[in-house]
């Protein structure tokens, strides 16, 4: 960590994200936290949701439109693949630029900064075009794990940070020079690096049983995917386990599950900021294939069962988990319960998968990116 006197001016860092799902806000907050941990008092940071705060209608409603659109996996996959590729992404950006040009210029004028960090693919190519004469460094931090869309990559960026070697290869295919790439990992909150001093005591505080494994069923901050079907299948499987379900902001889902006649100990939660503790106290995580949840599970050393994915965007995440023996792909509720039964009845098998999961973790990613940001601004 660095010490700084009051006479040293703060370096301003602008983070561009959007609440189109939780996968952009959480990494942004993790990087801001890491900057303060690594370089206390050296940075002034600002988060801007470019869609909601600056873009014209109907684009400004992208955060509200994302949940219903993402609930149609085939449509999502088609749009992902149709716009992917160097030529197609450039054509989309070229067509879009006149419509958003005024908004982007206002964004830049109203947010003076020493460095820009983009944590969203849909702003990079248009913003880099608007900044073509700007001396400000521009970093793109790719928050997809493996299946990275062409929108992420613009050769004019000073640096592109990716989470995996597979993502690096994709970036190079799309024209990013290897010297402008860093494979660091996905930034997650520091709290995931801290184990609970007494998991059994914390479980008891929550009312969880300590005499059986805990299954943690998660679905992202918006509670998307077939969570209800998976939860009901687990309930009917006769497993010697407890079930903890994180419903996120999906109040309807939580209300539906509260009406279920549960045959095993179950604990239902809405949106929570305590996910590091939930993962630290759990034995198995059942999740959709979001990059953030997977990265958090790796750091927490949890075996992973993936029950759903966004076509195109999250295909590679599933392959990555399976090929590293960190978990299984179980797109049908029966496959979820079969995997759970195996791991519950064979703790040694569960432990082997948990160890494989921990092996691919990148717990220092947020702090490493903070050091990269500082280096771009000449801070040591």
184 in Cβ contact with 372 (< 8 Å): yes
61 in Cβ contact with 24 (< 8 Å): no
CATH of the domain at 318: 3.40.50.2000
Domain limits at 94? 11-186+363-376
142 in Cβ contact with 160 (< 8 Å): yes
If asked whether residues 17 and 160 sit together in one domain, one would say: yes
If asked whether residues 207 and 343 sit together in one domain, one would say: yes
pLDDT digits (tens, 9 = 90+) for 266-286: 999 998 889 999 999 999 999
According to DSSP, the residues that pair with 169 across neighbouring strands are none
Residues 6+ apart with CB under 8 A from 22: 220, 221, 222, 248, 290, 292
Q: Which of 4, 6, 28, 9 is nearest to 18 (CA)?
A: 28
322 in Cβ contact with 335 (< 8 Å): no
Query: What is the crossing angle of helices 347-359 and 333-345, to 10°?
Result: 110
Mean pLDDT of the chain: 92
If asked whether residues 233 and 160 sit together in one domain, one would say: no
pLDDT per residue as tens, the chain (380 positions):
445 545 678 999 999 999 987 689 999 999 999 999 999 999 999 999 999 999 999 999 988 888 777 777 777 788 888 888 888 998 998 999 999 999 999 999 999 999 999 999 999 999 988 887 778 899 999 999 999 999 999 999 999 999 999 999 999 999 999 999 999 999 999 999 998 999 999 999 999 989 999 999 998 766 677 899 999 999 999 999 999 999 988 889 999 999 999 999 999 999 888 999 999 999 999 999 999 999 999 999 999 999 999 888 899 999 999 999 999 999 999 999 999 999 999 999 999 999 999 999 999 999 999 999 999 999 98
What pLDDT score does 259 carry? 94
If asked whether residues 234 and 279 sit together in one domain, one would say: yes
Q: Evaluate whether residue 6 is within a structural domain.
A: no
The pair phi, psi for residue 210, each rounded to 5°, is -105, 0
Q: Evaluate whether residue 149 is within a structural domain.
A: yes
If asked whether residues 32 and 138 sit together in one domain, one would say: yes
Q: Evaluate whether residue 53 is within a structural domain.
A: yes
If asked whether residues 155 and 140 sit together in one domain, one would say: yes
89 in Cβ contact with 171 (< 8 Å): no
What pLDDT score does 79 carry? 85
What pLDDT score does 221 carry? 66
If asked whether residues 109 and 97 sit together in one domain, one would say: yes
Q: Which two tokens stand for residue 29?
A: 């907050």
Query: What is the crossing angle of helices 291-300 and 315-323, to 10°?
Result: 20
Query: Which pTM value belongs to this model?
Result: 0.93
If asked whether residues 27 and 159 sit together in one domain, one would say: yes
Residues 6+ apart with CB under 8 A from 255: none
Q: Which of 79, 156, 121, 147 is nearest to 291 (CA)?
A: 147
What pLDDT score does 23 carry? 82
If asked whether residues 371 and 353 sit together in one domain, one would say: no
What pLDDT score does 210 carry? 92
Q: Evaluate whether residue 4 is within a structural domain.
A: no
Instruction: Give me the number of domains the chain comprises.
Output: 2
Count of CB atoms within 10 A of residue 213's CB? 17
Q: Evaluate whether residue 230 is within a structural domain.
A: yes
Count of CB atoms within 10 A of residue 201's CB? 11
If asked whether residues 270 and 227 sit together in one domain, one would say: yes
If asked whether residues 136 and 275 sit together in one domain, one would say: no
Q: Evaluate whether residue 226 is within a structural domain.
A: yes
If asked whether residues 75 and 127 sit together in one domain, one would say: yes
Q: Evaluate whether residue 3 is within a structural domain.
A: no
Residues 6+ apart with CB under 8 A from 360: 298, 324, 326
Q: Evaluate whether residue 313 is within a structural domain.
A: yes
What pLDDT score does 1 carry? 45
């Amino acid at each position: 960590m660095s010490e700084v006197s009051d006479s040293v001016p703060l370096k301003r860092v602008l983070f561009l994200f959007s609440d189109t799902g939780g996968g952009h806000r959480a990494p942004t907050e993790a990087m801001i936290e890491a900057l303060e941990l690594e370089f206390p008092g050296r940075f002034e940071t600002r988060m801007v949701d470019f869609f909601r705060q600056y873009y014209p209608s109907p684009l400004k409603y992208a955060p509200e439109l994302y949940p219903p659109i993402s609930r149609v996996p085939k449509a999502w996959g088609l749009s992902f693949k149709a716009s992917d590729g160097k030529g197609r992404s450039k054509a989309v950006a070229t067509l879009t630029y006149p419509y958003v040009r005024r908004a982007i210029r206002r964004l830049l004028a109203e947010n003076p900064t020493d460095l820009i960090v983009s944590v969203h693919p849909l702003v990079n190519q248009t913003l880099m075009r608007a900044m073509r004469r700007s001396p400000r460094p521009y970093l793109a931090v790719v928050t997809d794990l493996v299946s990275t869309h062409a929108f992420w990559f613009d050769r004019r960026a000073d640096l592109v940070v990716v989470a995996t070697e597979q993502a690096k290869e994709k970036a190079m295919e799309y024209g990013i020079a290897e010297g402008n790439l860093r494979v660091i990992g996905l930034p997650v909150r520091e709290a995931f690096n801290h184990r609970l001093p007494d998991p059994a005591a914390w479980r008891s505080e929550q009312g969880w049983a300590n005499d059986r494994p805990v299954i943690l069923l998660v679905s992202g901050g918006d509670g998307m995917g077939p969570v209800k079907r998976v939860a009901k299948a687990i309930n009917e499987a006769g497993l010697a386990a407890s079930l903890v379900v994180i419903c996120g902001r999906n109040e309807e889902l939580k209300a539906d599950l509260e009406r279920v006649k549960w045959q095993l100990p179950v604990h239902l939660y809405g949106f929570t900021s305590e996910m590091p503790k939930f993962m630290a106290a759990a034995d198995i995580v059942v999740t959709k294939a979001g990059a953030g949840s997977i990265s958090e599970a790796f750091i927490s050393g949890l075996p992973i069962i993936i029950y759903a994915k966004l076509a195109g965007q999250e295909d590679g995440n599933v392959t990555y988990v399976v090929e590293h023996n960190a978990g299984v792909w179980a797109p049908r509720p029966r496959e979820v319960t079969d995997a759970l039964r195996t791991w519950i009845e064979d703790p040694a098998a569960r432990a082997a998968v948990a160890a494989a999961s921990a092996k691919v973790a990148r717990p220092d990613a947020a702090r490493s990116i903070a050091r990269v940001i500082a280096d771009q601004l000449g801070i040591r």
